[in-house]
Amino acid sequence: MSDDILTDDDGLPAGAARNRRQVLYWRLLARLFDHDEQPALENASMAVVGDLGLPAALLDPSVSVDTLVQRFPELADEFRNLLAPGEDVPGDEVRRAALVSKLLLNVFGTGTGDVTATQLAAWQQDAGWLTQALGACGAQGGAPGGAPGGAPSGAPGAAAGSGGPGTGAGAGSGSGPGGGPGAGYGPGTGYGESGRELSKVLADLEADLVRRMRLREVLADPALAKRLTPSMSLVEQLLRDKANLSGVALANAKALIRRFVDEVAEVLRTQVAKASAGVIDRSIPPKRVFRNLDVERTVWKNLVNYNPEDQRLYVDRLYYRRTAKRTVPARMIVVVDQSGSMVDAMVNCTILASIFAGLPKVDVHLIAYDTRALDLTPWVHDPFEVLLRTQLGGGTDGTAALALAQPKVADPRNTVVVWISDFYEWNCDAVFAGMEALHRSGVRIIPVGSVNSGGQQSVNPWFRQKLKNLGAPVISGHIRKLVLELKNFLA
């Protein structure tokens, strides 16, 4: 490609700008589909970037956005809200195209080779920069998605875009938002369906990077293991491979799972803490103690006794606030399908179950199932132990879970069953019949198809319609939906 591509035939600045943008975007497409450099495009792009006064590192896919911002802090504000809706500033189109190309290449040009812990950490940081460029405040939920917080600062390494190991380009600054644990990625809820689709794409990319890691080798090296940022994809791989780990590798795997569980639990605990402890029981007279004295009501009711001559209010009756609440013990039975497709919902819901188990007057039971069912209630207070005892994969037979759950229902009106599954059962009729029987007895049934930031989950359409007709529609989306349902039941 000759240099005259950078100029327009009629010499108009607008035409020149268009040509320069095309050079940058053609280079982006070429590198996304073929990781070998195209000399003509590379040289032309280097000339464009140089004319803009931007660093040459902007074109190096082995340099993460986080590292770039550390070296050139003035670029940080330009990357933020780079892709957010708004009016374009005339004259900035080419500069914007250069920054957009860098961001998209680093996030989507993940290659096909092995991935190191350094590269995974850098990619997570770059994915965080992408969500911020779209105008979102880090991972959805904020932290939500209310999502748990971003990746730890100072994540070292280079982007995974180089497609091979050993391409680290120094330590990151931690100035960019990372992909938060348990939250997935994606713009805020204002982006609707497109935001959910992007969240799923980024989660799939991360899962692919994790699969391409030589995870056992990384875990066996404490220095490399410390560079890993806990995420849902990583936890899933650790749970699948835990039987093949031992010694230092197993200890490092457990430490990563524990970190992930603690970080997600911290966010969920904040949401659950807002749950009502019950409604005021007005059948119980107020306790006549000073801390319950209703001063405003007492003054108002005794205003008729005010004596203007001596300017005194004579009180002949005290009024007290009612504080007693109806706290009938509630039983929560959480049934978890431990097939691999449900790992995100399983992790979130086992953590949520442990949090509710810590509340007063809530009796929580936990059952995991595939073709067999396992009662995990003795470990319900420790989701870390629960996750270590689960076995991802296998078939799905909800009748085994029903056999364990039904005897636990002592008071149907004060019992809620949270059933987490994609409901692709081998005996759908029998499982639905059991759930319908529980519902008709007075048990509150809350079926959950997915509870994560993306809300992407395939649910058996036959089951979805049946449960909707029963008056118990399947919950999919952010875990806040499930928290709200449980709060309403316990109030």
Q: Determine the pLDDT at residue 166.
A: 31
Pick 139 or 290 by higher pLDDT. Answer: 290
* Residue 332 tokens, joined: 């929560």
Q: What is the pLDDT of residues 318-340, one digit of tens each?
A: 988 876 554 556 788 989 887 65
**415-420 and 444-451 strand pairing:** parallel
Q: Determine the pLDDT at residue 263.
A: 81
Q: Determine the pLDDT at residue 158.
A: 31
Pick 454 or 253 by higher pLDDT. Answer: 253
DSSP 8-state symbol, 426: T
Q: Determine the pLDDT at residue 21.
A: 84
What proportion of the chain, given as a percentage, has pLDDT over 70?
Answer: 72
Distance CA 206, CA 159 (A): 12
pTM equals: 0.53
Distance CA 413, CA 409 (A): 9
* Dihedral of the alpha carbons of 112, 113, 116, 121, in degrees to the nearest 10: -20
Q: Which strand (E) or helix (H) includes residue 364?
A: strand 362-369
**Which of 109-118, 127-136, 184-193, 397-406 is least confident?**
184-193
Residue 90 and residue 98 in contact, taking contact as beta carbons nearer than 8 Å: no
* Residue 182 tokens, joined: 């348990």
Q: How confident is the model at residue 409 (pLDDT cuts 50, 70, 90)?
A: very high
* Residue 209 tokens, joined: 């990077």
Q: What is the pLDDT of residues 63-76, one digit of tens each?
A: 888 888 878 888 88
Q: What is the pLDDT of residues 343-396, one digit of tens each?
A: 666 777 788 788 777 776 778 898 988 888 889 899 888 888 888 887 766 677
Residue 481 pLDDT > 50: yes
* Residue 162 tokens, joined: 């180089």
Q: How confident is the model at residue 138 (pLDDT cuts 50, 70, 90)?
A: very low
Q: Determine the pLDDT at residue 7.
A: 43
What proportion of the chain, given as a percentage, has pLDDT over 90?
Answer: 7
* Residue 176 tokens, joined: 């960019």
For the residues 467-485, what does the mean pLDDT come to? 80
Residue 342 and residue 422 in contact, taking contact as beta carbons nearer than 8 Å: yes
Q: Determine the pLDDT at residue 195.
A: 64
Residue 202 and residue 139 in contact, taking contact as beta carbons nearer than 8 Å: no
- Nearest CA among 387, 269, 278, 264 for reference residue 327: 278
Q: Determine the pLDDT at residue 221.
A: 85
Q: How confident is the model at residue 407 (pLDDT cuts 50, 70, 90)?
A: very high
Q: What is the pLDDT of residues 185-236, one digit of tens each?
A: 443 434 455 666 777 788 778 778 877 777 788 888 888 888 788 877 788 7
Cα of 134 vs its chain's centroid, Å: 17
